[in-house]
Amino acid sequence: MTVLARAIDVTRRYGGVRALDGVSLDIRAGELVGLLGPNGAGKSTLINLLVGLRRPTSGTVELFGGSPLDPVMRRGIGVTPQETGLPESLRVGEIVDFVSAHYPERLGTGELLARFGLGELVRRQVGGLSGGQRRRLAVALAFAGRPKLVFLDEPTTGLDVEARRALWDGIKAFHEDGGTVLLTSHYLEEVEALAERVLVVGQGRVLADDTMRAVRGLVGTRRVSLVADRLPDLPGVLSAERVDGRIDLVVTDPDRLVVELVRAGVPFSGLEIRPATLEEAFLALTTNPPKETAHV
Ligand SMILES: Nc1ncnc2c1ncn2[C@@H]1O[C@H](COP(=O)(O)OP(=O)(O)OP(=O)(O)O)[C@@H](O)[C@H]1O
């Protein structure tokens, strides 16, 4: 499958901070890739390198087989950064026309706005839009020039559920037409709802690059929940907390945990074991040292 964007052993430093550390990846045509990672993991830096806003300290970045610094290559992409400033006095339709005019091919203004649930607002001045409407407009603009590849940095941060769904529909429609998307998100359900492939980034490195299912399987964690007054120190516990009178543990080996519990002779009841959610798996991948259950 055609590779649209590629990073080869890319490192990016800002002074003493190593924001990316030997990252290699391909974004292939038709993929919808979710980039997950905690604050400061290097997600925005990776996007900035792939779209040519920054250069790597070492390593190579390619866009459509060329350099992301080449305007001809950049014409094939659409980008919504984490923050955008749109001119307050322009009308929504005027902004779309202004942005579209930079591209050889364009989506009609009405069609673009309808795709993102903004059709009613074509004559509204940007200064009169709500925060959520502005954000949706900023994301819609990434699609104005019929891009092949779209980069969205936290597209739905700050949106309510309805606005988020309207955006998801626009992104999905683009993808169903064959478009390629790389998006970052702090909303794990967003990545679960949209992305087929997940890249987990932590401390500037790619920790996992696989299907959603495989990423969960990779960490192989289980959520164990039980009722007990106290627990001894147990092996393989990644996180432990008391919630509504129960103790919830994320563990790597639930069978061993139960054996150890019984062996310790600790009274417990209401044992439940289920697969970890993506959030739990993600935390386990990027996480701290094992937890001491005796202090829960
Ligand atoms: N222009 C800059 N100057 C100095 N340090 C920077 C700069 N941009 C990013 N960094 C640092 O590089 C690291 C990675 O930042 P980056 O913004 O790429 O992370 P992120 O995963 O996008 O985080 P977030 O989820 O908070 O947006 C952080 O430690 C950050 O402080």
Instruction: Clarify whether residues 189 and 261 are in a common domain.
Output: no
Instruction: Clarify whether residues 236 and 103 are in a common domain.
Output: no
Domains contained in the chain, number: 2
Instruction: Clarify whether residues 153 and 229 are in a common domain.
Output: no
Q: Is the pLDDT of residue 125 over 90?
A: yes
Q: Is 41 in the pocket of ligand 1 (CB under 6 A)?
A: yes
Q: Is 40 in the pocket of ligand 1 (CB under 6 A)?
A: yes
| 127, part of any domain | yes
What mean pLDDT is predicted for residues 84-109? 91
| 294, part of any domain | no
| 22, part of any domain | yes
Name which residue leads in pLDDT, 188 or 9: 9
Q: How many CA atoms lie within 13 A of 243 on its CB side?
A: 9
Q: Which of 167, 195, 216 is the last residue of a domain?
A: 216
252 vs 38, 182, 238, CA distance in Å?
21, 30, 7
Q: What angle do CA 282, 157, 119 make, to 5 degrees?
A: 135
Instruction: Clarify whether residues 10 and 151 are in a common domain.
Output: yes
* Spacing, Cα 20 to ligand 1 middle (Å): 9
| 161, part of any domain | yes
Q: Is 131 in the pocket of ligand 1 (CB under 6 A)?
A: no
Instruction: Clarify whether residues 211 and 237 are in a common domain.
Output: no
Domain that holds residue 43: 3-216
pLDDT at 207: 85
| 119, part of any domain | yes
pLDDT digits (tens, 9 = 90+) for 29-87: 999 999 988 788 899 999 999 999 999 999 999 999 999 999 999 999 999 988 888 99
170 vs 115, 141, 144, 165, 238, CA distance in Å?
5, 11, 12, 9, 37
What's the CATH code of the domain at 90? 3.40.50.300
Say if strands 32-36 and 197-202 run parallel, antiparallel, or are unpaired: parallel
CA of 47, closest atom in ligand 1? 18
Instruction: Clarify whether residues 229 and 149 are in a common domain.
Output: no
What mean pLDDT is predicted for residues 128-139? 92
Q: Six-digit token pair at 36?
A: 């997950």
Q: What angle do CA 151, 62, 149 make, to 5 degrees?
A: 30
pLDDT at 220: 66
pLDDT digits (tens, 9 = 90+) for 186-217: 777 788 888 989 998 888 999 889 887 777 66
Q: Is the pLDDT of residue 277 over 70?
A: no
| 207, part of any domain | yes
In this prediction the pTM is 0.80
Q: Is the pLDDT of residue 143 over 90?
A: yes
